[in-house]
Structure 1
Amino acid sequence: MTASSLLSVAMHDTVGITGLSSESFKDNWGPAYQRTSNAGIPDPNGKIYWSFNALVGLFFPAVTGIMAGSNRSASLKDTQRSIPIGTLAATLTTSALYLVSVLFFGSVATRDKLLTDRLLTASIAWPFPAIVYVGIILSTLGAALQSLTGAPRLLAAIANDDILPVLNYFKVVDGGEPHVATFFTAFICIGCVIIGNLDLISPTITMFYLLCYAGVNLSCFLLDLLDAPSWRPRWKFHHWSLSLVGALLCIVIMFLISWTFTVVSLALASLIYYYVSIKGKAGDWGDGFKSAYFQLALRSLRSLGASQVHPKNWYPIPLIFCRPWGKLPENVPCHPKLADFANCMKKKGRGMSIFISIIDGDYHERVEDAKAACKQLSTYIDYKQCEGVAEIVVAPNMSEGFRGIVQTMGLGNLKPNIIVMRYPEIWRRENLIEIPATFVGIINDCIVANKAVVIVKGLDEWPNEYQRQYGTIDLYWIVRDGGLMLLLSQLLLTKDSFEGCKIQVFCIAEEDSDAEGLKADVKKFLYDLRMQAEVIVISMKSWEGPGEQQESIEAFSAAQGRIASYLGEMKERAERDKTPLMADGKPVVVNEQQVEKFLYTTLKLNSTILKYSRMAAVVFVSLPPPPANHPAFFYMEYMDLLVENVPRLLIVRGYRRDVVTLFT
């Protein structure tokens, strides 16, 4: 069925199928009928002719059943050839016969006779009037039998497509007769006959025919307009505008016939569509709307370009690193709380997340494993009701796989902008000595690629949407991060689990005299951003005196001892091999005073967090970059000391650009 032929269907079938009696026509058209019913003479304004029903409605049999070929396409040898040729040939032939009959009627009867004699054909029929009655009966029976053969096959075809489980009773084997569907169709027809009111049945049937024609025209319009590669009609004389006009005409005529029936029909069709989208199974014929979404996405991507996004248009696109530090239970593709955390980074759950996992090995050998893992991860994402996609990468090791991902994942400004991963709390407990180098390498790759980083410590205790949290969300804003930490804390407040919390911002002042000025500046900044938070300023002088938490001091001493032991082994190995100090396969430079300074600063920060935020729902702290030329082992010791005894911590490193702005 082509766009051009469908337009003719919409133009011709719509009026004829109504089958409205003169009384029903009078009721539907109202005053217009009263103005024009006088011998078919138009009203003074020339609005409408009563003859509209007789010249157009006389024409109904010429195009009725135009979809019959499609309904019985399974019985045709060559549907692509037979349906267009048969449809056009039947329409042209019957149209010619009806136009000739108009001339004949005008030759044998007066105008008054044509307007008043409802059985004029029987009066002038040759050789006797009864032949017309026989023709009417045969025509009626033929139309009924046509519907009783076409409709059941259409119902059986829909059932065989396995769209809706409720229609499974009507399935038939290939080449079989749809007996159940036929009985069901006959039952519906008998019920309509029992109603005994043609004026009630006809508009209902008309609406469904028109909806069918509008749907087919709309499909042709979308496929032609979007230049879908799969749209290759054999009939070349068509244009998307004809299909659009045909669909609009169907809708307009529906409203002209009866707006109440139209509203009910559209509502029912919408409910059926919704039911199919929820309960139905995916077919293999594609979806025209998906093609439209695809084209819209392409055009949106082109309009976004690759230029820097303005802060007020910035959206977090987190890349969730699913591979754990250690092992998860079998058939569990991702940490169960990662999707919950990913949703906390979106406002009202809207936005795209990319869940990635890396499989070690050769791509050619493990490609099937990757496909199975991707399917499993996608199922997990759907189960957690998280808007996101799954990606599986095969690489020789985790470091190389992640480096490829951070460079290539995404398109234009739709690339992931935040890398989210779990803090490797198990590395020392299970003696996983390869984790420090991998962890530091991932952070350095993110810094080079200008990706923000969010590291979650205490993921096992992260609340789901039903676990209400109370207390505060504390931000230790030490390093300028473009406002990412502020933005993430605000996004947390939009979630049901954190909406009862309040935000506290901790700032570090160099001198006591600077405290009040810094506090005023930060409060003004937050007010301009329309963010409500309490500002607390801590002087660095308070760090010089005693006051560290006992557990922090113990962790500090333990870290000192491990670093000294690791450094001694490095020196011994270097002397034995007569090489420079080596760690993680590369030379390193160790300044012991600098190492001590890093440890002391981390001790002070951890002690401050435990002093002020021990009962906080979530603590945010800036992620210190790995010091150049320090062994990865040392950096893990710094980080372990930072997170020691803090139950739920988000370690954040932002961009080189702002993600919040005062000009929103």
Structure 2
Amino acid sequence: MSQMTAIHSTQNSQQKAGNTASEPKKFSTFAGVFTPSILTIFGVIMFMRAGFVVGHAGIMQALLILFVSKMITTTTGLSISAIATNTDVKGGGAYFLISRTLGPEFGGTIGLALFLAQTLSVPFYILGFTESLIMTFPALKPFYLYISLFIAVVLFIITNRGADWAIKVQYVIMGALGLSIVAFLAGGALKFDHALFDANMARFNESKFSFWQLFAIYFPAATGIMAGVNMSGDLKNPARSIPLGTLGAIGVAVAVYVAQILLLGGSVSREALIEKPYQSLMSLAPFHTGFLIVLGVFCATLSSAIGSMMGAPRILQSLGQDRLLKPANFFAEVSKSGEPKRALWLTLVISLIVIYFAGKGNEGGALNLVASMVTMLFLWTYGITNLAAFIESFSRNPSFRPRFKLFHWIPALIGAVSSFAAAFLVDAPAALAAVALVVGLFLYVRKFILVASFGDARRGFFYSRTRDNLLTLAQLPVHSKNWRPTIIVFSGNPQNRLTLTRYADWLGSGRGIVTIAGVLSGNLHEKIRERRAYMENLEEFIRKNHIRAFPDVLVTPDFDLGLNQFLQVTSIGPIKPNLVMFGWSSDPNRAPAFVQSLRTAKLLNMSIVLVRDGGLPDLQQKKRKIDVWWSGKRNGSLMVILAYLISLDSQWSGTSIRILRAVENEYMRKNAEEELKNLIESSRMNIAIQVILSGDPLEKLIRSHSSNANVIFLGFEVPEESDAVSFQNRISSLSDGLPTVLLVRSTGEADLTS
């Protein structure tokens, strides 16, 4: 495993009351970004496995493996640079960038995942240091556990002194690591043999390792670029330092790794590279300086352990400062110097526990599994970081104006896909386990997250997709096959019209769009507060009753005039309302205005559904039934389609639909049965048919056959204004005492056989 740190920063100058006695020191590009990044990239893989990969893969394939690895980290570096130069970056590093782009749910998930990965990284790097120490000095083997625990405490003391002191220690480590790299590169150049280089150019024919297996071994050597990013809150100028330091570290690492592959291939035999990669690297050191290689291994593991112990607490502290999750709030407090003391103590406790149980038996099996999980979590962080940058750019968000100009959404997309693919190529079982962990964390965060105080890019992304889809939809021809209900519901006081709004939701059935509209009579300037309160009431009603709808409120001097105007102008581009729903009015004084509204809807070519409230059905009832009284294909088609949409709702699962038709003689009965059977067969629906031979009035037939139905559909025609009162009396008499009745008038656009 390579070291992978994510040094998470603290909030810079805005500290809580009582914590402002001294301002935390700010770091330059070199100290704050380049140094932690390059120390994390140059890891134990460079010393212990680089030769092994060159021996098996050959020089050409080893360079290809390096290219693919660096492509992932370079695209991630470009994405990080773009996001970091587009916003005022505070403490939080990758967590801050992702949460402000993909939202608090993803941000909180990645924050917890990074904290877990960083915290578990500390004991693993410490144990790695101890193992390399024992390989060099075998006499220390009996003290394996005690050495590991001692190193953990020492690193805690260093980190507890503050980031400034830890950075100074890393300067010393970087100097020693630099001497080690110079030693094996210089030795490789001095011992370079062209014949050996040619022999090692191609892949080892007898290798048992595939290209992707070798990639999995080598890839951790390319990771570590998040180390500098996560120092964001401790930087003098994050917008400048993060791009320069991160991309600079990647560039230096590429140069060193290319030189190492070429020089190893030209100075060490294939057999030695495969059998003794670490010893081969030591043998290259000139003038008996092999001890520098040993020093390099020690420095690589210690620098990663320090970086992880600095990073893990800062992640948790930044989560706490955002106040997203109550358990993390306790760790928001920082010291006067800006250090996350509480989170640091938690990191130490977890590290000591893991070291005790893992180091006690000196067994590596369980550790290897968790180490793979750590790698996976970092890869998912890279992927989601690229995804965040892709969403910002591809959605053409007007606020996405990064000062870093070497960015395009295509590399970000490539980086996201490559990161996710690499996770599975490195270790498929561990990748699946990491997916399960990330999903579990996401569900936890989504359930318990508090209100976020910051915005993100998701709305912009969906806005852009919606806009493009609306423009495309406007160019497509309208066909009855694609008919969907776009419903306006005039609810009045929604608290008194639950049946109306609930049936609108069921008719939408997740396949249409429902708008619950309210109309206020009066002057807009005088009613603006009342309108706002009405809108909030509608929004609360929709949330409380889990109705899938959008609220809207119109203020108009005249109620009926405003209602008619609302029907005319409401639309979302090509998505115009095609169905309007009213609650039934039994007030004779309202009959003329009510019928006038129906006539306006008809004039605007809108289908109409009137809801005669007979109460909501008992959805716990085992056998539920919807009755549709057929009165012709135009209204009948829409009634059956709407009944079918209701039956698709999960609350109506298992409901049976029955079409009933009354005829006066046997001849008409046979024709009606044949007609309805052909219609239902063409409709591809499982619907029962009942043709009733009777001369009784429709009102009597409905009461005798449908009084036990859960809901009844009846067709109607919009009357003339002069017939408003008689129409109202007739429908009231017909539906009185029945379950809820939906009266339907169709424009004919909805075709049952389409």
Q: Is the 8 A contact 2:40 2:304 kept in 1?
A: no
1:620 maps to 2:710 = no
Q: Is the 8 A contact 2:500 2:613 kept in 1?
A: no
Match of 1:446 among 585, 598, 601: 601
Match of 2:109 in 1: none
Q: Is the 8 A contact 1:13 1:64 kept in 2?
A: no
1:659 maps to 2:738 = no
Q: Is the 8 A contact 2:44 2:301 kept in 1?
A: no
Structure 1 residue 341 displacement after superposition: 1.6
1:175-324 alignment, distance < 5 Å? 176-194=338-356, 195-196=358-359, 197=364, 199-281=368-450, 283=452, 286=455, 290-305=459-474, 309-324=478-493
Partner AA of 1:376 in structure 2 = N
Match of 2:558 in 1: 397
Match of 2:246 in 1: 87
Q: Is the 8 A contact 1:398 1:438 kept in 2?
A: no
Partner AA of 2:627 in structure 1 = I
Residues 16 and 467 of structure 1, relative CA distance in 2, 3 Å threshold? farther
Match of 1:414 in 2: 575
Structure 1 residue 656 displacement after superposition: 3.4
* Unaligned residue ranges in structure 1 (runs of 5+): 2-7, 544-603
Residues 82 and 57 of structure 1, relative CA distance in 2, 3 Å threshold? same
Match of 1:340 in 2: 502
1:260-659 alignment, distance < 5 Å? 260-281=429-450, 283=452, 286=455, 290-305=459-474, 309-324=478-493, 332=495, 335-347=497-509, 349-425=510-586, 427=587, 433=589, 435-459=590-614, 461-463=615-617, 465-467=619-621, 470=624, 473-477=627-631, 480-481=634-635, 483-494=637-648, 496-497=651-652, 499=654, 501-508=656-663, 514-531=668-685, 532-537=687-692, 542=695, 604-628=697-721, 630=722, 632-659=724-751
Match of 1:554 in 2: none
Secondary structure at the counterpart of residue 235 of structure 1: coil
Partner AA of 2:719 in structure 1 = P
Deviations 1:555-610 (A, max 9, x none): xxxxxxxxxxxxxxxxxxxxxxxxxxxxxxxxxxxxxxxxxxxxxxxxx5434534
Residues 152 and 537 of structure 1, relative CA distance in 2, 3 Å threshold? same
Of structures 1 and 2, the one scoring higher in RCO (CA 8 A, sep 6+) is 2
Deviations 1:36-92 (A, max 9, x none): 999967323999799x979x96994xx664222321212223221221122233444
> Partners of 2:369 and 2:535 in 1: how far apart?
54
Q: Is the 8 A contact 1:351 1:387 kept in 2?
A: no
Residues 440 and 14 of structure 1, relative CA distance in 2, 3 Å threshold? farther
> Partners of 2:241 and 2:746 in 1: how far apart?
64
Partner AA of 2:404 in structure 1 = W
Partner AA of 1:238 in structure 2 = F
Residues 98 and 647 of structure 1, relative CA distance in 2, 3 Å threshold? closer
> Partners of 2:237 and 2:599 in 1: how far apart?
63
Match of 1:77 among 226, 233, 236: 236
Residues 308 and 407 of structure 1, relative CA distance in 2, 3 Å threshold? farther
Partner AA of 1:651 in structure 2 = L
Residues 455 and 498 of structure 1, relative CA distance in 2, 3 Å threshold? farther
TM-score normalised per structure 2: 0.64
RMSD of Structure 2 on Structure 1 (CA): 4.5
Deviations 1:217-240 (A, max 9, x none): 122223323322232222111222
Match of 1:169 among 322, 330, 349: 330
Deviations 1:310-347 (A, max 9, x none): 233222232222114xxx7xxx4x62333432243245
Secondary structure at the counterpart of residue 236 of structure 1: coil
Structure 1 residue 417 displacement after superposition: 1.9
Structure 1 residue 23 displacement after superposition: 9.1
Structure 1 residue 280 displacement after superposition: 2.7
Secondary structure at the counterpart of residue 525 of structure 2: helix
1:118 maps to 2:278 = yes
Match of 1:594 in 2: none
Aligned length, in residue pairs: 567
Secondary structure at the counterpart of residue 466 of structure 2: helix
Partner AA of 1:304 in structure 2 = L
Partner AA of 2:443 in structure 1 = Y
* Unaligned residue ranges in structure 2 (runs of 5+): 1-5, 7-33, 63-195
Structure 1 residue 157 displacement after superposition: 1.7
Deviations 1:10-38 (A, max 9, x none): xx999976859969998x999989xx999
Residues 620 and 101 of structure 1, relative CA distance in 2, 3 Å threshold? closer
Deviates more, 1:190-199 or 1:647-656: 190-199
Structure 1 residue 365 displacement after superposition: 3.2
> Partners of 1:252 and 1:522 in 2: how far apart?
55
Residues 285 and 659 of structure 1, relative CA distance in 2, 3 Å threshold? farther
Structure 1 residue 625 displacement after superposition: 1.2
Structure 1 residue 212 displacement after superposition: 1.1
Deviations 1:156-200 (A, max 9, x none): 223333333443332237984322222222333334434243644
Partner AA of 1:239 in structure 2 = H
Q: Return the index of the structure with the highest Cα Rg.
A: 1
Q: Is the 8 A contact 2:626 2:643 kept in 1?
A: no
Deviates more, 1:90-99 or 1:228-237: 90-99
Deviations 1:241-281 (A, max 9, x none): 22222223323332332221112112222222333334334
Secondary structure at the counterpart of residue 372 of structure 2: helix
Match of 2:169 in 1: none
Deviations 1:439-497 (A, max 9, x none): 122211211111111111124x1215335565661415268326111222333444555
Q: Is the 8 A contact 1:354 1:416 kept in 2?
A: no
> Partners of 2:258 and 2:582 in 1: how far apart?
76
Secondary structure at the counterpart of residue 118 of structure 1: helix
Structure 1 residue 136 displacement after superposition: 4.7
Q: Is the 8 A contact 1:42 1:49 kept in 2?
A: no
Structure with bigger helix share is 2
> Partners of 1:497 and 1:103 in 2: how far apart?
69
Partner AA of 2:411 in structure 1 = L
> Partners of 1:354 and 1:479 in 2: how far apart?
27
Q: Is the 8 A contact 1:484 1:659 kept in 2?
A: yes
Q: Is the 8 A contact 1:482 1:659 kept in 2?
A: no
Residues 264 and 651 of structure 1, relative CA distance in 2, 3 Å threshold? same
Partner AA of 2:594 in structure 1 = F
Secondary structure at the counterpart of residue 484 of structure 1: helix
Residues 323 and 202 of structure 1, relative CA distance in 2, 3 Å threshold? same
